[in-house]
Structure formats: C-alpha cells, structure tokens
Amino acid sequence: MNIRLARVTDYETLKKIKPSISDRIIEERLSRQEEGKVEFMILEDNNEPVSFVLLKWEGKKTHPEYPDMEDLYTKGEFRRKGYATLLIKECEKRVKEKGLKKIGMAVNPDKNSKVKVFYEKLGYRHDGGKLYVDAVYNGVEDWVIDLEKEI
C-alpha cells in the first residue's frame, strides 16, 4: 500500500479510480498543488490505483480556518476494504505534522447518510451549522453539512 501525490502523468490513473473526473478538474488540482495549496493524494495497492482525496490546506468557504478533505473517492470494486480510512488517517497525520489542530469535510447527510456514519465513527462531528448547497452536479444541488475533528 502506497500513498503519494498525484503528478501530471496521472490523468489516466485518476480516471481509473473515478471515471467521471474531468481533465479540467485534474489540471486545476495539479496547478493548485504546485502552488502548495492542496495535496492531491492517490492510494495504490500492489500498484493498482484504488482511492484518492484532495486535502485543501486553506479549508473551504465555510471553514477557511482549518484544512478540508474534498472528493474522497474509492474505485467501485475496492470499496469497504478500509482504503478511504487510510487516506483520512494520512490527511490527519499531515495536518498534525504542521501543528494544526483541526480538520474537516462536508457530507450530504441525506444522500450519503452511511458515509456520514462512517465519518462519525472516525471521530468527525457536525459543526452545528446549517445545511447549505456545496455544489451543483448535473443540475442537482448537493446539500451538505460540515463535519470536523480535533486532532
């Protein structure tokens, strides 16, 4: 098992994990990574690309004060084997190493209620804020809440 940063040669690797990810999104993330603003992390097992996550050092609009994990994704047939847990733990480790005390992520509590329970098991808690529209995917609003964890 290996966790590493995505590189410009990883477009196909990233699409192997999540076929719907666009070139534009990959390009944008790689350029923000160059600027030191994000870490676009890929997890491989036996050289097989399995999961990725975007760790954003500058947080998100609702919580710019601590880093945020965005677009955590595990390839379909590799789910429920603990890979996303390993990526979350790696993000927490990197945040802690910088001397920062908090990290978070947004989740859609209705559509992704099982994922929310998964995050709660890892110690993430609702920040108490309201539901808000994080993004619109194919015309459908993604209503999320923010979860956070002291590390």
Residues that bind ligand COA (CB under 6 A): 51, 72-74, 79-85, 107, 112, 114-115, 117-118
- Give me the residue label for tokens 């690797």: 13
Residue closer to ligand COA (CB basis): 9 or 20:
20
Shortest distance, position 34 Cβ to ligand COA, whole Å: 25
Give whichever of 32 and 45 is closer to ligand COA, judged by the CB atom.
Answer: 45
**SS3 labels along 87-110:** HHHHHHHHHHHCCCCEEEEEECCC
Residue 76: CB minimum distance to ligand COA, A: 8
For residues 30 and 105, which CB has a smaller minimum distance to ligand COA in the complex? 105
HEC per residue, 116-148: HHHHHHCCCEECCCCCEEEEEECCEEEEEEEEE
Query: Which of 5, 117 has the CB closer to ligand COA?
Result: 117
What is the token pair recorded at 81?
């084997």
- CB 43 → ligand COA: shortest distance, Å? 9
CB of 45 to ligand COA, least distance (A): 11
Residue whose pair of structure tokens reads 């945040």 in the numeric block = 95
